[in-house]
């Protein structure tokens, strides 16, 4: 059985004192960068983790959880973070918020920093292309949001169900020629899964699909709506893959003076405020955050196994 290194062992291998190693673990900015890098490399290669007694003796941040969002300005992730903070802060945990910028390398850096900081666990907002290779030591203390990853707990949204729910609602309202404003297919959830749901609905109802795909911004929603209507597509509704796109599409309709039924996905507060007649689907972002925090606490405090959780969605009708 491989012997677990102690702080003294790490100090000896690095040629420094134990105080310097402790400073690195506590992110002391006074440590020279080259010394910090050398110690961190030894720690990572050795798989060092503090003993329970050492953890209990820490004087700072007794309970720490990292939350890695893909981008700080994401409305959906902001809602989920609110739920995460609500539960973790009640449990006495300090939450460290970080941004990946859709970079797997950045995620690896953040997880390594949390490892060195002796964090109790982490919640990670996933994105298309995210790689978690080499992170096996996080399996019992990491929850992934929005996508499933083998070997890790996850909390996912019902992307296909949200589109199907909205389309069924519109059909009952007499809207039978919906066009779709979506996201590029390299995004596997908001992009691919939601478009697949729209296309499946069109096939089942025997109607012709009309759609435009682009980015996930207000401007992308404006441009897609403009293109669909410029092409004189025979439609009585624009179904948007997100509320962000719906905001852009709504602005185009407002500027062009055209009247169409418009819907979104996400139950965004700004959309409800500016365009109260736009229906949306609540994917349960805040509830998902609470569920993720609850699952993480169950794993790190009660040693429960990993789990895959799916959040139900609900229709939010227009006023």
**Span of 60-69, 178-187, 233-242 with lowest mean pLDDT:** 60-69
Decide which of 3.40.710.10, 3.40.50.2300, 3.90.1150.10, 3.60.70.12 is the CATH code for 159-282: 3.40.50.2300
Cβ atoms 308, 153 nearer than 8 A? yes
What's the pTM value of the predicted model, to 2 decimals?
Answer: 0.76
pLDDT confidence bin for 4, thresholds 50/70/90 = low
Quote the pLDDT of residue 5: 66
- Report pLDDT digits (tens) over 206-265: 999 999 999 999 999 999 999 999 887 789 999 999 999 999 999 999 999 988 999 999
The CATH class given to the 1-54 domain equals mainly alpha
Quote the pLDDT of residue 57: 45
Going across the sheet that includes 237-240, the strands are 211-214, 178-183, 237-240, 261-263
The answer as to CATH 3.40.50.2300 being correct for domain 62-157+285-311 is yes
Quote the pLDDT of residue 10: 85
Distances (CA, A) of 106 to 69, 109, 165: 11, 5, 36
Domains 1-54 and 62-157+285-311 alike in fold:
no
Q: Say how far apart CA 272 and CA 77 lie, in whole Å.
A: 18
- Name the residue ranges covered by the structural domains of the chain: 1-54, 62-157+285-311, 159-282
Q: Say how far apart CA 239 and CA 225 lie, in whole Å.
A: 10
Q: Say how far apart CA 43 and CA 292 lie, in whole Å.
A: 29
Quote the pLDDT of residue 20: 85
Burial call 275-312: b when 16+ CB within 10 Å, e when fewer: beebbbbbbbbbbbbbbbbbbbbebbeeeeebeeeebe
Quote the pLDDT of residue 59: 43
């Amino acid at each position: 059985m491989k012997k677990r290194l102690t702080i003294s062992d790490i100090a000896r291998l690095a040629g420094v004192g134990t105080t310097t190693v402790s400073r690195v673990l506590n992110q002391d900015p006074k440590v020279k960068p080259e010394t910090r890098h050398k110690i961190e490399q030894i720690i990572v290669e050795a798989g060092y983790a503090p003993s329970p007694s050492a953890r209990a003796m820490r004087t700072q941040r007794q309970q720490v959880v990292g939350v890695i969002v893909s981008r700080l300005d994401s409305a959906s992730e902001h809602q989920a973070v609110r739920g995460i903070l609500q539960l973790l802060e009640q449990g006495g945990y300090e939450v460290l918020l970080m941004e990946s910028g859709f970079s797997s390398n950045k995620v690896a850096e953040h997880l390594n920093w949390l490892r060195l900081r002796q964090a109790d666990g982490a919640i990670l907002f996933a994105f298309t292309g995210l790689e978690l290779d080499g992170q096996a030591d996080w399996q019992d203390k990491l929850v992934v949001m929005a996508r499933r990853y083998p070997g890790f707990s996850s909390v996912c949204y019902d992307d296909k169900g949200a589109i199907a729910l909205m389309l069924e609602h519109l059909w009952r309202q007499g809207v039978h020629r919906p066009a779709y404003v979506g996201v590029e297919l390299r995004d596997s959830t908001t992009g691919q899964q939601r478009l697949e749901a729209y296309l499946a609905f069109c096939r089942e109802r025997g109607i012709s699909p009309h759609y435009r795909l682009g980015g996930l911004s207000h401007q992308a929603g404006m441009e897609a709506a403009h293109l669909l209507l410029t092409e004189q597509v025979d439609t009585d509704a624009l179904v948007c893959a997100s509320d962000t796109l719906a905001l852009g599409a709504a602005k185009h309709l407002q500027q062009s003076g055209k009247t169409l039924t418009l819907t979104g996905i996400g139950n965004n507060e700004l959309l409800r405020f500016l365009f109260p007649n736009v229906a949306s689907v609540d994917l349960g972002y805040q509830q998902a955050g609470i569920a993720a925090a609850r699952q993480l606490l169950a794993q790190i405090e009660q040693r429960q196994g990993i789990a895959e959780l799916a959040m139900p969605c609900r229709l939010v009708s227009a006023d």
